[in-house]
């Protein structure tokens, strides 16, 4: 009886709570699921994936690159999500009196060396990440937000607003404005618009 109650309680928590997981991806482009959730991913309905990366110029950004390539496997792993949110946390190496948000702006031009023959900016990397989330990521409703902090041990991070990432049409004949933008301007342009809204939104201070 005790085991039955525990199983029922665990199932209810997974189905009705907001589950937060670190977004750590393997070389095989799959999520490292916390032990407590392994085998129960299909029960989760509301998920927040916390992806942390340190912007560096001229290196391979494994967190964002693997994240973009892991969207299809995430959809298979979490087939019943009602909502999925990515919080992309950029931990900046702040030097020379530069502020966190000043570093956040400067970092957009950093080079992400995806391949020897393909080097793109961090800005382009983030737009491609949103595009992959939009096209192949899990969840009936999708959201993204950016957070920024310094890498050297601060106890807070500056958190941007939650921005919807969705191309699904609601029941009815009129598509949402986002779907119209996607049809008229293409997926990449729509992802760029989402990025601009989320990355440049006003930031508040929250606990890290």
Is 100 within the bounds of a domain? Answer: yes
**36 or 182, higher pLDDT:** 36
- How much of the chain, in percent, has pLDDT values that exceed 70? 77
Is 8 within the bounds of a domain? Answer: no
pLDDT (tens digit, 9 = 90+) per residue, 93-117?
A: 887 777 888 889 999 999 999 988 8
Residue located via tokens 């990397």: 125
Is 146 within the bounds of a domain? Answer: yes
Residue 109 contacts residue 56 (beta carbons within 8 Å): no
Residue 60 contacts residue 113 (beta carbons within 8 Å): yes
Task: Please give the model's pTM, rounded to 2 decimal places.
Answer: 0.83
Is 5 within the bounds of a domain? Answer: no
Is 176 within the bounds of a domain? Answer: yes
How many distinct structural domains can be found in the chain? 1
Is 199 within the bounds of a domain? Answer: yes
Interatomic CA distance for residues 194 and 208, integer angstroms: 24
pLDDT (tens digit, 9 = 90+) per residue, 48-98?
A: 999 999 999 999 999 999 999 999 999 999 999 999 999 999 999 887 777
Is 142 within the bounds of a domain? Answer: yes
Is 46 within the bounds of a domain? Answer: yes
Residue 198 contacts residue 164 (beta carbons within 8 Å): no
What backbone torsions phi and psi does residue 46 show, to the nearest 5 degrees? Answer: -130, 115
* Domain span at 43: 15-207
């Amino acid at each position: 009886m005790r085991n039955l109650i525990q199983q029922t309680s665990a199932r209810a928590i997974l189905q009705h709570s907001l589950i937060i997981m670190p977004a750590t991806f393997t070389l095989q482009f799959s999520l490292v699921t916390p032990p407590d959730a392994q085998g129960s991913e299909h029960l989760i309905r509301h998920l927040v994936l916390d992806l942390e990366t340190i912007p560096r110029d001229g290196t391979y950004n494994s967190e964002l690159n693997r994240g973009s390539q892991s969207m299809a496997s995430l959809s298979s792993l979490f087939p019943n999500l009602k909502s999925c949110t990515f919080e992309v946390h950029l931990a900046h190496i702040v030097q020379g009196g530069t502020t966190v948000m000043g570093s956040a702006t400067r970092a957009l031009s950093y080079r992400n060396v995806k391949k020897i023959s393909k080097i793109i900016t961090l800005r382009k990397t983030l737009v491609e990440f949103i595009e992959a989330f939009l096209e192949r990521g899990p969840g009936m409703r999708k959201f993204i937000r950016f957070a920024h902090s310094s890498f050297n041990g601060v106890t807070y991070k500056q958190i941007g607003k939650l921005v919807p990432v969705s191309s699904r049409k609601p029941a009815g004949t009129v598509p949402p404005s986002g779907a119209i933008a996607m049809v008229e301007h293409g997926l990449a342009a729509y992802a760029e618009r989402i990025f601009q809204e989320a990355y440049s939104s006003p930031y508040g201070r929250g606990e890290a």
